[in-house]
Structure formats: C-alpha cells, structure tokens
Amino acid sequence: MKKFLAAALLALSMPVAAEQIYTIGVEQAAFLPHYSGDAQGNYQGFARELLDSFAAHSGVRLVYKVLPADELLPALLDGRVDAKYPDNPNWSEPAKAGHRLHYSQAVVNYVDGVMVAPRRVGRGIDELRRLAVVDGWTPWGYEDRVATNQILLVSSENLPRMVRQALLKDSDGAYYNVVVAAHYLNNVRAKPGALVFDADLPHTRSTFNLSSLNHPELIESFDRYLKNQQSAVATLKAKHQVEKNLFSEYVGMEQWKIEFLERQKAKELESGVQH
C-alpha cells in the first residue's frame, strides 16, 4: 500500500506537459472555397478545416489571428504570429530578404489567370485591352503590356465589383484566382459560366504553403500530417473543390457545363468526320 501511495504521490507531483499552442496568421478576405476571414475574427473554409484536422492529429492547439493581407507578413516577421497561411517562397521576396523562413510542402495548387466572357475565349492577348484587377493584386505575365499602355488596368475594390465590371463589359477580362472567381459566379452570383478561364492567356500556376520563421518543428509536423493523412486531405479538397478541374481546360466549371461542352465537341467531331 505504501508503495502504491508513494507512486501515486510521485505521479501527482510530476509536471504535466503544457499543450503546445501556435498562433496562425490568416487572411481577412472572402476567398472561398479556400478560406474566408472577417474583421470579427471568424475563419472558415477549406484551410480552416485542414488546419483543424492537422491540430487534432498532431496534438497541438492552433489559434487563428485574422489580419488584412498586407499585415500578415509583417506580423510573421516580428513574431506576432507563429505561422502564416497562405504563403509561398516566391511571394514578397524583397520583404523577406534576410529572414530564413521555413515552408511546408504544397498544401493546395492554384491558378491565377484571366476570366473572360465565353465569346472572347481564344481571341488572344492583343484583344485584351482593359483588364479588371482587384486592388492589391499583381497580374503576373501582363507587366510589360501594362507598362507600355497596351493594357489598361481597371481598378476593382473587391471580387464582386470586378466580376460586375467584366459582365457589364467595362473590361475585357478579369484577373483573379480562377477557382475562387468561378465559385463566386457559381454559388453567390448564380451566373455559372458567365465568365470562363482563358488558358491561352498568360496565367500562373503555383501553390499555397504554410510558413514559419521561428518554428521549424511546426512545419515538420505539418509536413508529416500532409504525408500520413493524404486520404483525409484529398477528401477535404474534394469537399471544398479547391482544385476542381485545375489541370484540365475546364478549370473552375461546374460539371453540367463540362458535360455540355463535351457533347458539343463530340457533335463537332462527328460532323467533321461526316464531311
């Protein structure tokens, strides 16, 4: 009995390991299906569910700090947040100079490009004279034409405004994340297919990553999660459709639209064979 009591007292006297808590800086923006963060600190979408799943599997606690996009990197570099999502090694390179950031494996793939009215698809870059861009975005691949006034940038305060400009023909196209723009058209504006991605125009394919300055152990743990829970990650991607048709010509389109276009192609091929 004495031995049991001694062991029990020893166990009670041993310090309990504190739960590891990390503060993740996330973006204050309506960017579904990837994520949505507001000024009240609410955060949801694919990224939230993925990070919550990682925390549950890894035994850590994540606290989300929603910040305007231009405040995220400074918050990471001065230690106000432990990690930043999304990030990418190629973003804001001058501001990151002198800092050794740690990056996770690719979390999700994305495409930024130009959405145009279906009748304008394939017309080429020379027909793109006015390009709507949300304030703060850089239309990569169009810098030279913008600098020489071959393309005029049409400022938009947000995605809804930019889509409206393109639909009203105030611009010839709209530059944005293709999946996010299509999600807005399909689910919020209820105009599926009103604007479509023109893959013939310059566009960027890259990835969203998790980054940290002072916590490489967090990045290593997150990478293990991405590797060991590939099935769970794939299920979340499919649920939120963050990579929907990303590697096909139908990126961002709803399935009924894809099936319609495929039937049209089949008819055209059949007609060509008959002639």
pLDDT tens-digit profile, the chain (275 residues) = 555 555 554 545 555 456 799 999 999 999 999 999 999 999 999 999 999 999 999 999 999 999 999 999 999 999 999 999 999 999 999 999 999 999 999 999 999 999 999 999 999 999 999 999 999 899 999 999 999 999 999 999 999 999 999 998 889 999 999 999 999 998 888 788 899 999 999 999 999 999 999 999 999 999 999 999 999 999 999 999 999 877 666 665 556 566 666 666 666 667 665 55
**Residue 16: predicted pLDDT:** 47
Each domain of the chain, given as residue ranges in start order, spans: 10-109+208-240, 110-204+248-258
3-class DSSP string for 11-62: HHHCCCCCCCEEEEEEECCEECCCEEECCCCCEECHHHHHHHHHHHHHCCEE
CATH topology of domain 110-204+248-258: D-Maltodextrin-Binding Protein; domain 2 (3.40.190)
pLDDT of residue 190: 77
CATH annotation of 10-109+208-240: 3.40.190.10
Domains 10-109+208-240 and 110-204+248-258 in one fold: yes
